[in-house]
Homo-oligomer: A and B are copies of this chain.
Amino acid sequence: MPSVTRRPAGGRDRRDAIAGRVRDAVERLLVAGESFTALPVGRIADEAGIGRSTFYGHFPDKVALLIALTESATATLFDRAARWVDEDGTRDELDAVVLHHVTEYRAHAPLLRAVVEVAGYEPDVDGFWQERIVEFAASIRRRIERDQAAGAAHRSIDAGPAAEWIAWGTERAVSMHVATRPPAEDAAFARGVAGATWAAMGRLPES
């Protein structure tokens, strides 16, 4: 005789299945080139095979959906790069790190395109995205400062602005590259960015 009332497993499974269908539907539509901004909720509901009012039972609005979609997708996006930064990774490792970032970015490109798009006019999304990049920039700054303290990085580099420039620059350049170039060019692009990043951190190799 149970002493608490519990949600039924069947009901939860069904509810999760619907949220999953909405997610998959949005992904398909974004992959097909739809702009998130111009995408009506009714279209998403149709694509997911649910009622439009059911959508509102799961998500308060389209923006909340986007935030939910991207939280997990971007949770690990910067992990490898941040680890390289935090653990004082080497120049030899950097090509692979940037390539991994480009590859991950490309894998989530439709969603990330939507995030950047919606961040332009939605403060919640903007704040969420900025938080991600600003956090990464802070770790780059600390890395540059450590390198300078150890005499490994050139003292002409001002760690704060340089770190912001690197973090935002990488985000933007990768996003543009992924949007306009084929995957076959990823490795060369990543090598080039890695070289410029290393230099911008004040770490040009000895001539």
Contacts and interface: CB of A to CB of B under 8 A. Distances in A.
Interface of A: 35-38, 113, 116-118, 120-121, 130, 133, 154, 156-158, 160-162, 164-166, 168-173, 176-177, 180, 188-193, 195-202, 204-205, 207
Most B C-beta atoms less than 10 A away, residue of A37, A133, A154, A169: A169
A81 to B, nearest CB: 14
Given A156-B199, A157-B196, A160-B192, A121 B205 contact: no
Identical copies in the complex: 2
A11 B200 CA distance: 56
Contact of A117 (B120, B157, B164, B197): B120
Contacts of A36: 121
A195 B120 contact: no
22 contacts: A35-B120, A37-B120, A113-B120, A117-B121, A120-B120, A130-B176, A154-B205, A154-B207, A156-B205, A160-B192, A161-B177, A161-B190, A161-B195, A162-B195, A164-B189, A165-B173, A165-B196, A168-B169, A168-B176, A199-B202, A200-B200, A202-B204
Q: Is the interface of A mostly helix, strand, loop or mixed?
A: helix
Nearest to A167: B173
